[in-house]
Amino acid sequence: MKMKPYEHPPALYPYREWSLGEDTYEEEYNQRSESVFALGNGYIGMRGNFEEGYHGTAGTTVAGNYLNGFYDTEPVVYPEGAYGLPEVNQSMLNVTEARIIELEIEGYPFRLDSGKVHSCRRWLDMQTGLLHREVEWESPGGQRVKLAIRRMVSLRHKHLAAIDYAVTALNFAGTLQFVSALDGEIRRSEASADPRLGSGGARPSLLLEDSGYEEAAGVLWMRQRTRHTRFVLYTAASHRLQAASGRGLAPQLDGQRISAGYTAGVQCGETVILTKYITYYTSKDYPEEELQDRSAGVLKMAEGCGFNGLADEQRAYLDQFWAHTDVEIKGDPALQQGIRFNLFQLLQSTGRDGVTNIAAKGLTGEGYEGHYFWDTEMYMLPFFTYTQPEIARKLLEFRYATLDKARERAAVLSQKGALYPWRTIDGTENSAYFPAGTAQAHINADIAYGIKQYVQATGDVEFLVSRGAEILCETSRFWTDLGYFNPARGGAFCINGITGPDEYTAIVNNNAYTNLMVQDQLIYAYETVLLLQQEYPADYARLRQSIGLTEGEAEMWREAADRMFIPFDEQLGIYAQDDTFLSKRRWDFEQTPADKYPLLLHFHPLVIYRHQVLKQADLVMAMFLLGDKFRLVDKIRNYQYYEPLTTHDSSLSPCIHSIISAEIGDLAAAYGYFDRTVRMDLDDINRNAKDGLHMAAMAGSWMSIVNGFGGLRQVDGTLCFDPALPEQWQSFRFKVTARGQLLDVCIGSEAAVYTLLEGSGLQIRHRGQPVLLQPQQPVSLLLARQLEAVIFDLDGVIAGTAGLHDQAWQVLSDKKDAGCRQLLEQLTPADLLPGILELLDSLAQRGIACGLASASLNAPLLLQRLGIGSRFQAIADPAALQKGKPDAEIFLTAAELLGVPPQGCIGIEAAAAGIASIKAAGMLAVGIGSREQLGAADLLLPSTAELTVEKLLALFGRKV
């Protein structure tokens, strides 16, 4: 489905570089704002709900507090079960609400739906990590107050959150009352037919065991136990009141809610502040009997620091984060805000203790029930690998920590080795719909890819040796057991009955993405075993012992990789998504109205599976991840085939299309896809931000910048850049960390500047050229491309005129010609078209190479007869090509033979198909002929006599 040029929607939140804010309160958008104003620290997540609770229309709020990895289970009821389907489903719990602060002013409760709201602002500051709310409110009795509320979830202290609640009396003297509460009677969101939401919880999952109030310490506490998993949750809050006079209120217990509070006298103009410190501890992390003491310790520490002290720590933490992570986009405030917001939310949602991970919606909502998917390794992990490698390691440690469960799962599926779950919290499979779940075995290869990328980027071989190798071996065993050398495919290694990343196609044989990724994994596993054998014999022995690795197993992986079957369609010249994809009927996009998207909500899966239609990048994803396995021409051709069939119904899709569009030279498309990804939640593009933020798309927007516009690829551990600046921007800048060295990359309109901010020296590549960076010595490299080569067609450009030779020419240039030697003999240099010889001379003088892209098999002979054979450094051989014009292949092949990137070439053609071929190759096109025929050319000349090197250079300069 061809994407229309993306039009930026009106701003839902004003564009600000370092913050996200709203200047009014609108009930209609409340749920969405709860998601985007979420705070978190990788463990605790709090949606942006108000301290006083919510008094709006039912269904417009989800009060949410989450703890990463803290879940309960419910049995999955299958009307028609089958062997090996998950029996229970895990859901991240919405835990006890601890933020409640109810304020009364002279007996009037402060609520946004009563009295008079004079002003109401809130903003999330991404530099300080604080959520602010400022309200000027007048009670029904006429007392006017100003509230300044600051909230944080501490990035330094995993179990701690804090609220600083300041009330200033603006026009009265009187009494304020604060009631602070813990409310444990929380349910998850309602069940829904939308598979992207949760299955809901019929009954409350948290059962009260005990609660209390310690008056001396001002601490409210509550102990609850989950219904099925039997985990203990210990929630506590302590309070500090800053007021000239105040006294405590008696605690109250009401069902699962416990409250206590204060009254305080206030003079006109005076401010009273209540600070509330909140902790969450669970028995998932510590023995039950320790929870209370641990909580008390942290609360004491927090009170000692005070809110401002904690805020200083928070700021310092974020200064460090941004110093390694910030992305700057000059000239585009909307996208600048978008990218920073995404990176900030990623930090907030990512588990970093080795036993938790990143849920699809982070800690911002209950969509996908807090489950972890392949999203982690393929989308989020690269961001952390290159900016916060210590967090990346923790994410991979999670996979190691759950390897046993993956082994068990493989056994259930009658397979050797280990199969990671498609969706999980604790490592067990939670996917009840196996065609788009367990069948996505590619997750094994995705994890392997993540390990390889991490180890190469960081040099953390210790991780590979101590943990990664075991994961690689066990998941490789799975593959060689699942796949087989198929006699019907000439003994090629085939993998059947799986689903690739595109969830609109299920249970197929030989999904190209999967087979390519498995091939890569098997080679890496083989190399890792060799590494251990040769350099870490003790670890090798340990591994052999612990997993029973046998002689010859690694060789078998290597052989399977070497003989891997990759489906390719010779006729179309593209990789087939799988064995049968190309034989299906194409989806009828013309007859599908906009309101029928996403298709998954409007069509039975079988209807979708029967068609050529994609939910998300599949082969296109492989072209990004395994770029060196594809020629540029394959990338272009595959992209042109699959992109129009892709609905992007998954938010994981546009960013990958942005990256490949940038690589094949379509910066406008790359920008459009990026725009759509980077503000997916801030503009609520998929209209479901209310259910939580799209973490993979957020991380994908980072990849669109760094891998897309920055052109970063890691080749055997070396960072290789091929940057390009979208015309909408003045410049952009990002940072990457590799092997402990911090690199700053700034791309402007003229030059790319690489600065090694930390480290001792780093070798990178810029557009293929090696560059050695020394600390603090910026290296500036011009971006303007030189015209390096001109690639000619023969017919109508070099020769082929009217009269005698016109006819001869037709015969001679015909591929089928064999007996035209006589006619050929008649050609002489005089048959060259006017201006060509002069042009060839001028090009040679300037050192600009010449190539030929002619479909004629006689071309070499013809050039010889015309006396210009030696002027051409490369002639694309049409017999060796898969496809003729208008396919890009012939021009790209000529460029490849010349060793020049397409962006350094101009192609010259006299036929429309030829112009199309040049454009598809990403080159500038010069047409010789009429506008009616060759209107798509970048420069049109009536005849070759007009063709001069100056005109070519001027055309090229325009592009630059």
Q: Which amino acid is at 55?
A: H
178: tokens are: 């604060």
What is the β-pairing status of strands 65-75 and 44-46?
Answer: antiparallel
| CB nearer ligand BGC, residue 368 or residue 734 | 368
488: tokens are: 């019907």
Beta strands in 759-860 (DSSP E): 762-766, 769-773, 779-782, 789-792, 849-852
The residue range among 373-381, 404-412, 451-459, 900-908 that interacts with ligand BGC, by the rule CB under 6 A, is 373-381
The residue range among 116-124, 275-283, 367-375, 659-667 that interacts with ligand BGC, by the rule CB under 6 A, is 367-375
Choice from 303, 366, 503, 618 touching ligand BGC (CB under 6 A): 503
| CB nearer ligand BGC, residue 211 or residue 356 | 356
368 touching ligand BGC, by CB under 6 A: yes
Count of residues interacting with ligand BGC (CB under 6 A): 12
Whole-angstrom CA distances from 661 to 54, 532, 639, 733, 793 are 45, 39, 8, 20, 26
Distance CA 869, CA 390 (A): 59
Residues 43 and 67: beta-carbon distance below 8 Å: yes
677 touching ligand BGC, by CB under 6 A: no
Q: Which phi and psi (to 5°) does residue 844 adopt? A: -60, -40
> Residue 440 CB, nearest distance to ligand BGC (Å)?
8
> Residue 428 CB, nearest distance to ligand BGC (Å)?
17
691 touching ligand BGC, by CB under 6 A: no
Choice from 373, 575, 702, 754 touching ligand BGC (CB under 6 A): 373
Residues 6+ positions from 396 with CB-CB distance below 8 Å: 381, 447, 450, 451, 454, 463, 467, 468
22 in catalytic set? no
> Residue 374 CB, nearest distance to ligand BGC (Å)?
6
> Residue 421 CB, nearest distance to ligand BGC (Å)?
12
225 touching ligand BGC, by CB under 6 A: no
> Residue 395 CB, nearest distance to ligand BGC (Å)?
15
Residues 6+ positions from 895 with CB-CB distance below 8 Å: 789, 791, 851, 901, 902, 904, 905, 921, 923
| CB nearer ligand BGC, residue 139 or residue 431 | 431
Which of 825, 743, 836 has the alpha carbon at shortest distance from 797? 836
Helix/strand/coil percent split, the chain, to 5: 35, 25, 40
Angle at which helices 442-458 and 389-401 pack, to 10 degrees? 140
Distance CA 745, CA 725 (A): 12
Coil, strand or helix: which one is 32? helix
Residues 266 and 131: beta-carbon distance below 8 Å: no
Distance CA 597, CA 861 (A): 56
H or E stretch covering 586: strand 585-586
Residues between 117 and 136 that touch ligand BGC (CB under 6 A): none
Buried b (16+ CB within 10 A) or exposed e, 607-635: ebbebbbbbbbbbbbbbbbebeebebbbb
Choice from 236, 419, 664, 696 touching ligand BGC (CB under 6 A): 696
Residue that is written with structure tokens 């940038």 in the block: 662
Distance CA 210, CA 226 (A): 13
| CB nearer ligand BGC, residue 36 or residue 849 | 36
> Residue 375 CB, nearest distance to ligand BGC (Å)?
5
> Residue 636 CB, nearest distance to ligand BGC (Å)?
25
H or E stretch covering 695: helix 695-703
| CB nearer ligand BGC, residue 432 or residue 667 | 432
H or E stretch covering 889: helix 889-898
Q: Which residues pair with 780 in a beta bridge?
A: 753
The residue range among 163-171, 312-320, 369-377, 517-525 that interacts with ligand BGC, by the rule CB under 6 A, is 369-377
| CB nearer ligand BGC, residue 379 or residue 809 | 379
| CB nearer ligand BGC, residue 517 or residue 794 | 517
375 touching ligand BGC, by CB under 6 A: yes
Annotated catalytic residue within 34, 366, 503, 788: 503
> Residue 420 CB, nearest distance to ligand BGC (Å)?
13
| CB nearer ligand BGC, residue 358 or residue 894 | 358
> Residue 643 CB, nearest distance to ligand BGC (Å)?
17
Choice from 234, 307, 344, 374 touching ligand BGC (CB under 6 A): 374
652 touching ligand BGC, by CB under 6 A: yes
Query: Could you tell me how many helices (H) and strands (E) the chain has, helices first?
Result: 27, 39
The residue range among 244-252, 318-326, 371-379, 540-548 that interacts with ligand BGC, by the rule CB under 6 A, is 371-379
> Residue 615 CB, nearest distance to ligand BGC (Å)?
6
| CB nearer ligand BGC, residue 649 or residue 887 | 649
Residues between 326 and 365 that touch ligand BGC (CB under 6 A): 360
Choice from 650, 707, 856, 944 touching ligand BGC (CB under 6 A): 650
> Residue 225 CB, nearest distance to ligand BGC (Å)?
30
Site string (9-38) toward ligand BGC, x via CB under 6 A: ------------------------------
Q: Which phi and psi (to 5°) does residue 458 adopt? A: -100, -25
> Residue 645 CB, nearest distance to ligand BGC (Å)?
15
Distance CA 468, CA 398 (A): 11
Q: Output the 3-class SS for 893-941.
A: HHHHHHCCCHHHEEEEECCHHHHHHHHHCCCEEEEECCHHHHCCCCEEE
The residue range among 48-56, 107-115, 370-378, 884-892 that interacts with ligand BGC, by the rule CB under 6 A, is 370-378
Site string (596-615) toward ligand BGC, x via CB under 6 A: -------------------x
| CB nearer ligand BGC, residue 182 or residue 360 | 360
H or E stretch covering 393: helix 389-401
> Within 828-878, where are the H helices?
836-845, 859-865
The residue range among 368-376, 456-464, 510-518, 624-632 that interacts with ligand BGC, by the rule CB under 6 A, is 368-376
| CB nearer ligand BGC, residue 188 or residue 467 | 188
Q: How far is CA 415 from the centre of its chain?
A: 31
Buried b (16+ CB within 10 A) or exposed e, 434-461: bbbbbbbbbbbbbbbbbbbbbbbbbebe
Distance CA 808, CA 821 (A): 10
> Residue 378 CB, nearest distance to ligand BGC (Å)?
9
Distance CA 135, CA 103 (A): 13
| CB nearer ligand BGC, residue 30 or residue 646 | 646
What is the β-pairing status of strands 939-941 and 328-330?
Answer: unpaired
Choice from 35, 616, 856, 858 touching ligand BGC (CB under 6 A): 616
| CB nearer ligand BGC, residue 344 or residue 504 | 504
Angle at which helices 442-458 and 512-535 pack, to 10 degrees? 50
Catalytic sites, residue numbers:
503
Residues that bind ligand BGC (CB under 6 A): 360, 368, 373-375, 501, 503, 615-616, 650, 652, 696
